[in-house]
């Protein structure tokens, strides 16, 4: 007995000693935040479930730290403009909310602070349990890292998933979702498109949705990509063209006016039972399974996106949070404390339970959680592999996406052929890249 | 002579207004001209450089600008005749004798669309023209028309709301003209003919002309300004079907962040506007 | 007989006009009283159990109340400023002879026609340099670009209608032009001043583009707020309509008050 006790206390002592080594005098959030009490941190949030989740948890953080988080809410479409305007104006945002395609621009403009710099400048506020290796490597690389430097911690994390209405599929004689895109079009399409219902809806509105959710989603699985190794347009390649033609074909199984569908319309059509399958971000899980917003909550099942000839290349998107360079000393520290807390291992479970999608690998080992959230297996599978440059992440993306949006929708509306449209995008895209200095060696070919 | 005052007095009265308007109206324009001569992208402020007239060249040769311009004038060419025809009808209706109470009610109702916040008109459009749960399709006997997602229908919907909001304006302007016709002249004409068309053409039209010209020019200027309603209703979509000139400039400047190019577009739009304003002044304010 | 029939036709057509004008407002208000589930019912329902939840949520949870207050502050201040600057200018334009008067008129009217996007771009950059983004004063100033012309146009018109003989005596006694304006002419021009104030208020209250680009949170206006509900992930139609109703009611009331002069204001005095 005594021996056991002894061993026990020895173990505890060792644990404490190693712990003490890491945190010198017992790290706690409250203690770390002590010097920054009363600081207000300004951040832009989107009108999406992950943000509501963290907002609901916020009082706990504010109480413990005495730091006030001032949330400014915007729809996605305004969030980039809002932040760019604030940063160029030297406004008062202390945290940058970074969509993966914005990171090149934010980093090159010097609007965000590298994590290492925070570590160096404020060693006392780094949580010893930060454990960067616990983030899915793909998410940390794609959402938070630019040119080898980590700036942001993955916060609102997406993979494209296939949401399907199992009841509708069953009625049409299918036991499960399609494995490949071709199968979706050739077998599921005709069987499920009838009586005013449609097999599929691909959100394609002329904004980031067109480039990210529609255009990029069809080129990659068919072996295409935006750029080749020399940063010239790859949209005329066989793979890219096959993907774009596939999209034209698939439109016959989608609701009319799909080019006006944004996430809300698509999720809504699915939730109302008008559409049998959608490929949407993991973040919309909570709204399609909530009986308050969904008429088909009981029928919803989730699978990874279908495969194409080039394999499964699910859409990748997501947001990281980084400290803004324009914040003052106290605000920077307070901002970091919030980012670290919101993306922490310790809070991941509650975050997911409240409707967020965490990028922490550890949380998805929790069996209880995996049972209550049906999207978890598909999500984990999708994040094992994925294309970080699904959309190029360089600073030129905001200009290029405008071009893709314009001509991508023109293709869908049949105003130009996929070849002519792709050519047009290619020429214009190369002009932008040329002006930016990628072709004369002034800029490294990083996307 | 009456009206002769010292320069100091004139300046004292008019100076503050001129100064105020110069600060908010002219200084930004000069700045826009400066910006338009540079490569000036908000996300690339490290690379601002003088590029002369390149932005102007891009605007003048890029189809997108002229397409948006063409679309804007096409909207004007379709909506304005409708507004004038309907407006004239309503004005004549209100000019008929009798039914005082109903006419007063109608006049008050006509005031409502004009005053409505333009952005709200667009939001209302989203709700009423929704393909599925919109009341418009229901009132059309359960039609299944896709208003917002089809390029032609979306354009028609924009025309509808423009006509809804501004026909009352045309009607009231024309009604004001009709009431200027001296009673005895109109009476005399009525004794001679029963044809309302003859009366309209020969008796009333001269009194309507100033109002009609005002409508023509103001609607032109307002169509060039049109932004709020379309922004909230279709955001210029689907595709570019409803991307009018002001929306396009906003997109280039604040979504593509190319403020240099957008400024060049804005300057060209301003020049077109000034030409129109010149015409306006010539026609109406000769007396000044 | 014929007379009666045509009266009947007139009645029917007028009723149609009234219905068309009013119906969208009816639909806006009823939608604002629907829950999300009811609002999304297809085909739409006309009879349902109304709820004020949308208003409560919009006003107190989403901060629409604050944006309404912002809009009010901005619209009132810019109107007062426009009157302060515009009334003396209008007096001078109506009564003094001076060089360049014609060009001044031209300039004022051009401002009424310029698309706000032309000014919004550079104004944003200037405001950014002067640290004026997201401040009430910025909108108060930039709204002068359309308010000042309106005030000047309407009030000039009004001053012109006042005969010179009225203040002849005062002038002979040596009263300054300022005293003449303040003591004699301004009281007589009050109706015009009031109308121009109402217009200035309506236009400022309704403005969207500057509000969208130049404010973010502290000075955000109500129309900019209503727009930001769009493109969330579940499009809260009831709430959007509730916010719309709150925005529209004040302007409709003002417009009805000024209904007789509305046309004159909108045509900048071209039609009387």
A186 or B9, which is more confident? Answer: A186
Chain C from 179 to 198: CB within 8 A of any B CB:
181
**B145 at interface of C, judged by CB pairs closer than 8 A:** no
pLDDT of the residue at C3: 63
The most confident of the ranges A75-79, C127-131, C239-243 is C239-243
Instruction: Domain ranges for chain B, please list them.
Output: 55-284
Q: How far apart are CA A123 and CA A115, in angstroms?
A: 11
| A160 bridge partner residues | A281
Q: How many CB atoms lie within 10 A of CB C261?
A: 18
Q: What is the ipTM of this complex?
A: 0.89
Tell the burial category of A196 from Cβ atoms under 10 Å away from its Cβ (0-12, 13-18, 19+): exposed
Nearest alpha-carbon partner for A335 in A87, A113, A98, A53: A113
Q: Which of C256, C267, C257, C149 is nearest to C194 (CA)?
A: C257
- Closest C-alpha among C238, C235, C211 to residue C225: C211
Size of chain B in residues: 288
Question: What's the mean pLDDT when you consider all of chain B?
Answer: 88
C56 inside 8 A of chain A by CB: no
| Domain definitions of chain C by residue range | 62-266
Mean pLDDT of chain A: 89
- The alpha-carbon gap from B155 to the nearest alpha carbon of chain A, in Å, equals 13
The second-level CATH assignment, the architecture, of B55-284 is Orthogonal Bundle (1.10)
More confident residue, C143 or A1: C143
Q: Which residues from chain C sit within 8 angstroms of residue A43, using beta carbons? A: none
Q: What is the mean pLDDT of residues C80-107?
A: 88
> Are C89 and B13 a contacting pair at CB < 8 A?
yes
Domain A159-315+393-436: assigned CATH number: 3.40.190.10
Q: Which of B41, B148, B239 sits opposite A206 (nearest CB)?
A: B239
Of C13, C97, C142, the CB nearest to B3: C97
Poorest-confidence range of B50-54, B283-287, C20-24, C80-84? B283-287
CA separation for the pair C254, A441 (Å, rounded): 63
CA A17 centroid distance within chain: 39
Tell me the domain boundaries of chain A: 10-157+317-384, 159-315+393-436
> Is-contact C108 C153, C-beta < 8 A?
yes
Asked if the model's pLDDT at residue A52 lies above 70, the reply is yes
Give the tens place of pLDDT for each residue, A108-139: 999 999 999 999 999 999 999 999 999 999 99
pLDDT of res. A223: 93
Nearest partner of A340 among A168, A19, A119, judged by Cα: A119
Q: Residue C208 and residue B115: Cβ atoms within 8 Å? A: no
Query: What share of chain C in percent tops pLDDT 70?
Result: 95
3-class DSSP state of A441: coil
pLDDT exceeds cutoff 80 at A12: no
Beta bridge partners of residue A154, listed in sequence order: A320
pLDDT digits (tens, 9 = 90+) for B189-229: 888 888 888 888 888 888 888 888 888 888 888 899 999 99
Q: Cβ distance C266 to B218 under 8 Å? A: yes
Instruction: Write out chain A residues lying below 8 Å of B258, CB-based.
Output: 399
Chain B residues close to A325, C-beta within 8 Å: none
Rounded to an integer, the average pLDDT of C150-175 is 82
3-state secondary structure of A43: strand
> Spelled out in words, what is the top-level CATH class assigned to the domain A10-157+317-384?
alpha beta
CB–CB of A178/A199 below 8 Å? no
Tell me the whole-structure pTM to 2 decimals: 0.86
Query: What dotted CATH number matches C62-266?
Result: 1.10.3720.10
B1 touches B232 (CB < 8 A): no
Touching subunits of C (3+ CB pairs, under 8 Å) are A, B
Are the Cβ atoms of A206 and B151 closer than 8 angstroms?
A: no
């Amino acid at each position: 007995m005594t021996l056991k006790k002894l061993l026990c206390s020895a173990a505890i002592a060792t644990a404490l000693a190693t712990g003490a080594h890491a945190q010198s005098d017992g790290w706690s959030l409250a203690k770390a935040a002590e010097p920054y009490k009363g600081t207000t941190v300004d951040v832009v949030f989107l009108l999406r479930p992950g943000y509501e989740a963290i907002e609901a948890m916020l009082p706990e953080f504010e109480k413990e730290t005495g730091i006030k988080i001032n949330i400014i809410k915007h729809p996605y479409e305004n969030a980039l403009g809002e932040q760019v305007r604030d940063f160029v104006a030297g406004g008062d945002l202390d945290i940058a909310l970074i969509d993966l395609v914005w990171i090149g621009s934010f980093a090159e403009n010097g609007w965000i602070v590298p994590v290492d710099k925070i570590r160096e400048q404020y060693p006392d506020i780094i949580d010893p349990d930060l454990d960067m290796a616990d983030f899915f490597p793909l998410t940390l690389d794609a959402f938070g890292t630019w040119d080898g430097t980590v700036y942001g911690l993955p916060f609102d994390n997406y993979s494209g998933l296939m949401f399907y209405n199992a009841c509708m599929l069953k009625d049409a004689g299918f036991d499960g979702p399609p494995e490949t895109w071709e199968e979706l079009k050739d077998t599921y399409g005709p069987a499920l498109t009838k009586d005013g219902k449609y097999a599929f809806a691909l959100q394609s509105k002329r904004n980031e949705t067109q480039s990210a959710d529609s255009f990029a989603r069809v080129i990659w699985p068919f072996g295409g990509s935006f750029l080749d190794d020399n940063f010239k347009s790859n949209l005329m390649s066989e793979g890219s063209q096959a993907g774009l033609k596939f999209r034209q074909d698939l439109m016959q199984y989608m609701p009319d006016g799909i080019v006006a569908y944004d996430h809300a319309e698509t999720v809504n059509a699915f939730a109302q039972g008008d559409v049998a399958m959608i490929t949407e971000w993991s973040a919309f899980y909570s709204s399609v399974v909530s009986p308050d917003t969904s008429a088909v909550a009981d029928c919803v099942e989730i699978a990874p996106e279908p495969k194409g000839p080039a394999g499964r290349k699910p859409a990748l998107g997501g947001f990281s949070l980084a400290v803004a360079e324009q914040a003052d000393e106290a605000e920077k520290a307070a901002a970091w404390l919030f980012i670290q807390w919101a993306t922490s291992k310790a809070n991941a479970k509650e975050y997911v339970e409240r409707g967020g999608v965490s990028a922490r690998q550890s949380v998805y080992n929790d069996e209880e959680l995996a049972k209550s959230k049906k999207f978890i297996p598909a999500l984990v599978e999708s994040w094992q592999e994925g294309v970080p440059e699904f959309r190029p992440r360089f600073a030129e993306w905001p200009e290029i996406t405008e071009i893709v949006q314009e001509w991508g929708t023109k293709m869908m509306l049949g105003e130009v052929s996929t070849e002519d449209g792709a050519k047009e995008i290619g020429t214009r895209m190369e002009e932008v890249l040329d002006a930016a200095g990628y072709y004369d060696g002034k800029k490294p070919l990083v996307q | 002579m009456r009206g002769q005052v010292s320069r100091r007095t004139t300046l004292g009265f008019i100076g503050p207004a001129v100064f105020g308007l110069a600060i908010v109206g002219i200084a930004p324009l000069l700045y826009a001209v400066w910006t338009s001569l540079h490569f000036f992208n908000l996300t690339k402020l490290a690379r601002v450089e003088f590029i002369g007239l390149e932005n102007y060249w891009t605007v003048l040769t890029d189809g997108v600008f002229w397409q948006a311009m063409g679309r804007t004038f096409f909207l004007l060419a379709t909506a304005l005749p409708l507004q004038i025809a309907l407006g004239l009808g309503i004005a004549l209706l209100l000019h008929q004798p009798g039914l005082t109470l109903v006419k007063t009610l109608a006049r008050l109702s006509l005031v409502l669309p004009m005053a409505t916040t333009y952005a709200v008109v667009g939001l209302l459009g989203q709700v009423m023209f929704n393909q599925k749960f919109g009341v418009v399709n229901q009132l059309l006997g359960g039609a299944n028309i896709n208003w917002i997602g089809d390029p032609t229908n979306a354009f028609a919907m924009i025309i509808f709301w423009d006509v809804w909001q501004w026909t009352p304006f045309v009607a009231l302007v024309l009604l004001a003209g009709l009431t200027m016709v001296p009673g005895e002249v109109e009476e005399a004409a009525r004794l001679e003919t029963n044809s309302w068309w003859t009366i309209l053409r020969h008796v009333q039209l001269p009194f309507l002309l100033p109002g009609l010209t005002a409508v023509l020019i103001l609607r032109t200027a307002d169509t060039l300004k049109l932004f709020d309603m379309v922004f909230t209703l279709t955001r210029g979509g689907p595709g570019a079907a409803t991307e009018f000139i002001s929306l396009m400039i906003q997109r280039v400047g604040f979504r593509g962040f190319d403020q240099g190019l957008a400024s060049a577009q804005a300057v060209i739009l301003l020049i077109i506007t000034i030409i129109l304003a010149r015409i306006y002044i010539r026609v109406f304010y000769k007396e000044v | 007989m014929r007379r009666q029939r045509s009266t009947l036709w007139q009645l029917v057509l007028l009723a149609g006009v009234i219905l068309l004008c009013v119906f969208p407002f009816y639909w806006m208000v009823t939608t604002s009283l629907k829950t999300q589930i009811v609002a999304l019912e297809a085909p739409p329902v006309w009879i349902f159990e109304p709820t004020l939840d949308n208003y409560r949520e919009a006003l107190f949870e989403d901060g629409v109340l604050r944006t309404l207050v912002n809009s009010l502050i901005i619209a009132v201040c810019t109107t007062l400023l426009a009157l302060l600057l515009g009334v003396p200018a209008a007096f001078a334009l109506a009564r003094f002879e001076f060089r360049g008067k014609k060009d001044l008129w031209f300039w004022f009217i051009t401002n009424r026609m310029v698309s706000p996007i032309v000014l919004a771009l550079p104004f944003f950059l200037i405001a950014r340099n002067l640290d004026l983004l997201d401040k009430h004063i910025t909108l108060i100033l930039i709204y002068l670009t359309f308010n000042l012309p309106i005030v000047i146009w309407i009030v000039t018109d009004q001053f012109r209608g006042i005969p010179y003989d009225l203040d002849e005596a005062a002038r002979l006694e040596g009263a300054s032009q300022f005293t003449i304006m303040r003591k004699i002419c301004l009281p007589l021009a009050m109706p015009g001043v009031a109308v121009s104030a109402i217009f200035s208020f309506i236009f400022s209250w309704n403005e969207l583009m500057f509000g969208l680009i130049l404010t973010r949170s502290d000075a955000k206006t109500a129309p900019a707020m209503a727009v930001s509900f769009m493109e969330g992930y579940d499009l809260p139609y009831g709430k959007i309509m509730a916010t719309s109703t709150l925005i529209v009611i004040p302007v409709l009331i003002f417009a009805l008050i000024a209904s007789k002069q509305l046309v004159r204001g909108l045509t900048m005095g071209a039609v009387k």
